[in-house]
């Protein structure tokens, strides 16, 4: 059963995370924590002219949480904040809605990467691992509060 969720792309992003690090002059900073398993993510990003100009993460946790953060940062870099919110909603629905179908995805390039997490909804305790970075990002963006620390449940 574990092979259903630990595919090659997840393992690659876990072993070789993209956009790993910190942005010292970030406009947004948030720490997310999943108390159920101990995963921790710190996101820093710069929003300029309504675009995500730069985004990085640091953290520790399971392969799923780290790979999800890596894939998320790759996907959100350069997007407008509206596009980022749309991708958050798609990702969240993909992992939480029983009636979600691949037909709901209209961003094919996004689904090719994020779709590797589709089977995680069959493992409810792992959904929070996959969505930790996404929820943290969405909260920081929505509240527009730089330097914020919150627990993401």
Mean pLDDT value across the chain: 85
Confidence tier at 11 by pLDDT (50, 70, 90):
confident
At which residue do the structure tokens 């010292």 appear?
24
- Measure the CA angle with vertex 36, ends 35 and 42; round to 5°: 45
pLDDT digits (tens, 9 = 90+) for 63-85: 999 999 999 999 999 999 999 99
| C-beta neighbour count of 17 within 10 angstroms | 20
Class of domain 2-149: alpha beta
Burial class of 70 by CB neighbour count within 10 A (0 to 12, 13 to 18, 19+): buried
pLDDT the model gives residue 151: 45
Confidence tier at 2 by pLDDT (50, 70, 90):
very low
pLDDT the model gives residue 109: 66
Question: Is the predicted pLDDT of residue 122 greater than 90, yes or no?
Answer: no
């Amino acid at each position: 059963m574990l092979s259903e969720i630990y595919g090659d792309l997840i393992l690659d992003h876990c072993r070789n995370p993209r956009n790993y690090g910190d942005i010292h002059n970030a406009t947004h900073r948030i720490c997310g924590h999943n108390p159920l398993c101990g995963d921790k993510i710190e996101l820093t990003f710069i929003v300029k002219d309504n675009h995500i100009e730069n985004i990085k993460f640091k953290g520790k946790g399971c392969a799923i949480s780290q790979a999800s953060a890596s894939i998320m940062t790759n996907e959100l870099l350069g997007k407008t904040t509206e596009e980022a919110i749309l991708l958050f909603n798609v990702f969240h629905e993909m992992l939480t809605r029983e009636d979600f179908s691949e037909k709901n995805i209209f961003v094919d390039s996004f689904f090719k990467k994020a779709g590797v997490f589709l089977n995680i909804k069959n493992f409810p305790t792992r959904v929070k691992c996959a969505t930790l970075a996404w929820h943290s990002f969405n909260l920081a963006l929505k509240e527009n509060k730089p330097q914020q620390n919150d627990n993401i449940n």
